[in-house]
Amino acid sequence: MENLIAKISKAISLFAGLALSIMMFLTFADVVLRAGGVPIIGTYEIVSLLLALTTALGLPQVTMEKGHVYMEFVLEKLGERGKRIMNTITRLCVIFLFLLAGIYMIKVGKVYRMSGEVTATVKIPFYPFAYTVALCCFIQCAVLLREVISLWGKK
């Protein structure tokens, strides 16, 4: 199971990198073409949607690599068992928050799908992006649960 979570996180982080690259090239092209009087229609909308994807798709891998900023000055005063307990509590709280976020994003996606909500200019539907963010929230929960299990699996 640990391997599967790692592979999924790595795979979706590649899509995050692709989305980020597309944002970069699209923004660059729009700036250059706008200077020539021919802006790319819908750039703002597309970049906004890609930003949501980049953030959501990259989060599980960043968590696995411990790429977040940690405030460990409180934990330094605790013993090994205290550190494990604090790390477990914080991760369980974050799992709960990401579960809520995932469930909420599914509901939002359903509303977008049922209403046919699309971007104003290029008419891209919102619901696939909401569902993707929801899926990433659930993957994030799996990554955090993996961390909790590994915390207590150490000798």
pLDDT, average across residues 74-79: 78
Q: Is the pLDDT of residue 75 over 80?
A: no
- At residue 74, the pLDDT reads 72
pLDDT in tens, 77-109: 788 888 889 889 999 999 999 999 999 999 999
- The arithmetic mean of pLDDT across residues 122-137, rounded, is 98
Check residue 154 and give its pLDDT: 59
pTM for the full model?
0.89
Alpha-carbon gap, residue 65 to 9, rounded angstroms = 10
The CA distance from 70 to 31, in Å, is: 37
Eight-state DSSP code of residue 39:
P
Q: What does the block give as tokens for 96?
A: 């709960």
Residue 118 DSSP SS3: strand
* 143-155 tens-digit pLDDT: 999 999 998 885 4
**Calpha distance 104→107 (Å, rounded):** 5
